[in-house]
Amino acid sequence: MGLSLSPLRRRHVLFGLILIFLPCTVFILISTPDMTGEEALVERLAELQLRLQHLDAMYRAREEDVQVLSHHLSQLLSDSGNLTSLSAEARYLLNNTSGRLLRLPSAYHFLPHLLLSPSSLRPALALSKGRTGVSTILGVPTVKREVQSYLLSTVRNLIESMNKSEQDDTVIVVLIAETEEEYVYSVVNDIKIHFEYELNSGLVEVIAPPASYYPEMARLRTTLGDSPERVRWRTKQNLDFAFLMMYAQPKGMFYVQLEDDILAKPHFVTTMKTVALERITNKKPWFVLDFCQLGFIGKMFRCVELPWLIQFFFMFYNDKPVDWLLDHLIHTKSCSLDKDTKHCKKAKEELWIHYKPSLFQHIGTHSSLKGKVQKLKDKQFGKVRLFVPHANPDAIVESEIKCYKQHTLKRAYLGETFFWGLVPTPGDRLTFSFSRPLYIKRYVFRSGNVEHPSDRFYNTTVEVLPSVSPTANYESFNYTSDGFVIIGKFDNMGLADGPVDRKLGPIKELRLVVHSESDNWAILSEILIEPDVKR
Ligand SMILES: *[C@@H]1O[C@H](CO)[C@@H](O)[C@H](O)[C@H]1NC(C)=O
Ligand SMILES: *[C@@H]1O[C@H](CO)[C@@H](O)[C@H](O)[C@H]1NC(C)=O
Ligand SMILES: *[C@@H]1O[C@H](CO)[C@@H](O)[C@H](O)[C@H]1NC(C)=O
Ligand SMILES: *[C@@H]1O[C@H](CO)[C@@H](O)[C@H](O)[C@H]1NC(C)=O
Ligand SMILES: *[C@@H]1O[C@H](CO)[C@@H](O)[C@H](O)[C@H]1NC(C)=O
Ligand SMILES: *[C@@H]1O[C@H](CO)[C@@H](O)[C@H](O)[C@H]1NC(C)=O
């Protein structure tokens, strides 16, 4: 079937489809009354134009497949010397291509080890519902960190920064760029637990590369005078990004490169898409739309242009860090050796568009390169809310965890700041003794904040002391030896939140009790004790 339709004919079919497709769409747009007129129409056309480019790229990929196949086939046939058994059309096709083609260099030239294993370009693992045709693909590579992983809070924040329609038009691809099976499965497990809904809906996908994708990392050339460790780190990052981009490329219109330790602004996908479509509509050129000043975070590309980057990364993966390669690529595309650096800078800025204010911020303080503490923050991101204040009932508050600077528990309870405690130890308690016993409807304790998401309470229970000693009826509650009832605990995302059973009666005291050692400090960014005013 593939061979019986010549490329020429298939192109005609494609054009035919487009001719039918375009006028219909235009007609529908014009006849829809609530469109804001010409602008929306023009933007929609830009979108269609992009989808057309996407189809064209897919078509080219198929054509390439046909070329490769016919090359193999004709090789086989010329070996057996018999073309007459084929249809006239197939004969024509083969006769026209065989023997005359020069061989295009391919990625295998730069990564010959990929030929050693037939599955080296197939993800070793892929959780995917196969969602395609979306506007935006968000690529989130993650690697094992010595200190603390921010992956789950990053993905959660990305999802929460989108509304329903934005979520339906996006795919988040998490690349677990590790080959140690046990580690990969532990991350996959965490993601399954926390994002079951999003995995099922197709919004979140998880992939991991096979070990055979990477060359022998111990035998890399050391370049730029960097230490072998640093060379390995940046080389792997180039290959990781290329893998992720290859996977993402056929899925949508725009690709955005992110990292696993970032924070995003609400509606960032719509903002990015609007900026991109506006440039396309106004026929202004661009290669990168840059929504963050840091490294490779928040860089947006057209999916159809990703092959430029992928190929470039494959050529120079051992030579330069990934953000330099992007810079070099743009440099090559835009600068003239005859002109000065000022001219070059200006020319580059026409393809690499910086958008302010930034849509992304780093939250991690530890880089995944061991020992390199990364404190780079994007100054263009603006202020973020570090705590949520509430008016709480009168109480005496006490903390056995020493606080940092002015971040006392008392001020946090009053809604003036967040509580920031130095490393909690088992047995540490935070207590809230109410001036008057009260019925409590609900409590919320949110630990960590956007700048320090890992400063959470781990393995910490929420306990209350009823003002009247419980009677035998209430055996179903879990009591501590000193008469408190355990009503909840902090979850993996650092949140403790729930109702207080009315059967417990008025509550005299509420406390948080820490049960484990922690590597981190602990923040309470939200404290809410909501009295039950029904009586
Ligand atoms: C080539 O194929 C045709 C048709 O299958 C057959 O009749 C013919 O004998 C074959 N010739 C050779 C040289 O194998
Ligand atoms: C292949 O094409 C050449 C002309 O380019 C023609 O002379 C020859 O007969 C063709 N062979 C077959 C098997 O169609
Ligand atoms: C080979 O195919 C191309 C189009 O794909 C056509 O333009 C050319 O004339 C063909 N050559 C021969 C020798 O048939
Ligand atoms: C989601 O947000 C975008 C951008 O603010 C808006 O255009 C769209 O209507 C919103 N969709 C829903 C379902 O709220
Ligand atoms: C009491 O603790 C046990 C074990 O931790 C738990 O399974 C059970 O749900 C708890 N009961 C109540 C009423 O919280
Ligand atoms: C929580 O702390 C208790 C007491 O130290 C310990 O037995 C338990 O394993 C800890 N649980 C977790 C999840 O760390």
Structure tokens at 130: 């196969």
pLDDT tens for each residue of 448-496: 887 788 889 999 999 999 988 766 556 678 889 898 999 999 998 899 9
Compute the average pLDDT of residues 58-68: 79
Beta strands in 426-484 (DSSP E): 429-438, 440-447, 460-466
Extract the tokens encoding 507: 């509550």
Do residues 497 and 516 make contact, with C-beta atoms less than 8 angstroms apart?
Answer: no
Q: Which helix (H) or strand (E) holds 269?
A: helix 268-281
Which residues have any ligand 5 atom within 6 Å of their CB? Answer: 476-478
What is the model's pLDDT at position 63? 78
Please write the tens of the pLDDT for every residue from 395-427.
999 999 998 889 999 999 999 999 999 889 999
Question: Which ligand 5 atom is at minimum distance from the Cα of 477?
Answer: 13
pLDDT of residue 158: 96
Q: Is 161 in the pocket of ligand 4 (CB under 6 A)?
A: no
Residue nearest to atom 11 of ligand 1 (CA): 82
The pLDDT of residue 40 is 83
Q: Provide the pairing of β-strand 204-208 with 170-176.
A: parallel
The residue that leads in pLDDT, 367 or 444, is 444
Strands in 460-466's sheet, in edge-to-edge order, are 395-399, 429-438, 507-514, 460-466, 485-489
Closest residue by CA, ligand 6 atom 12: 459
The answer, yes or no, to whether residue 111 has pLDDT greater than 50, is: yes
Q: Out of 10-14, 172-176, 226-230, which region has the weakest mean confidence (pLDDT)?
A: 10-14
pLDDT category, 23, cuts 50, 70, 90? very low
Level-2 CATH architecture, domain 124-362: Alpha-Beta Complex (3.90)
Q: State the pLDDT at residue 34.
A: 53
Ligand 1 centroid from CA 86, angstroms: 10
Between 19 and 378, residue with greater pLDDT: 378
Of 446 and 10, the one with more pLDDT: 446
Report the run of H or E that residue 531 belongs to, with start and end. strand 522-531
* pLDDT score, position 525: 94
Mean pLDDT of 130-158: 90
Q: pLDDT tens across 319-359, in order?
A: 999 999 999 999 999 999 888 999 999 999 999 999 988 89
The residue type at 1: M
Which of 171-180, 287-296, 373-382, 421-430 is most confident? 171-180
Closest ligand 2 atom to Cα of 84: 13
- pLDDT for residue 56: 84
Q: Given this model, what pLDDT does residue 250 score?
A: 94
Residue nearest to atom 2 of ligand 1 (CA): 85
Q: Tens digit of pLDDT for each residue in 148-188?
A: 678 998 999 999 999 999 999 999 999 999 999 999 999 99
Helix, strand, coil percentages in the chain from 3-state DSSP, rounded to 5: 40, 20, 40
Q: Which of 142-151, 237-246, 523-532 is least confident?
A: 142-151
472 CA from centroid of ligand 5 (Å): 17
Q: How far is the CA of 313 from the centre of ligand 4 (A)?
A: 36
Please tell me the number of the ligand nearest to residue 161's CA.
4
Q: Tell me which CATH homologous superfamily contains domain 395-531.
A: Galactose-binding domain-like (2.60.120.260)
So what's the pLDDT on residue 62?
82
Q: Name the least confident of 129-133, 201-205, 373-377, 419-423.
A: 373-377
Quote the tokens at residue 87: 């249809």
Instruction: Evaluate: CB of 80 within 6 angstroms of ligand 1.
Output: no
Average pLDDT, the chain: 85
Nearest CA residue ID for atom 2, ligand 5 = 478
Ligand closest to the CA atom of residue 491: 6
What residue spans define the domains of the chain? 7-103, 124-362, 395-531
Q: Is the CB of 85 under 6 A from ligand 1?
A: yes
β-pair partners for 443: 498, 529
Ligand 2 pocket test target in 83, 89, 92, 95 with most atoms within 8 Å of CB: 95
**Ligand whose nearest atom lies closest to the CA of 67:** 3
Contact 248, 303 (CB under 8 A): yes
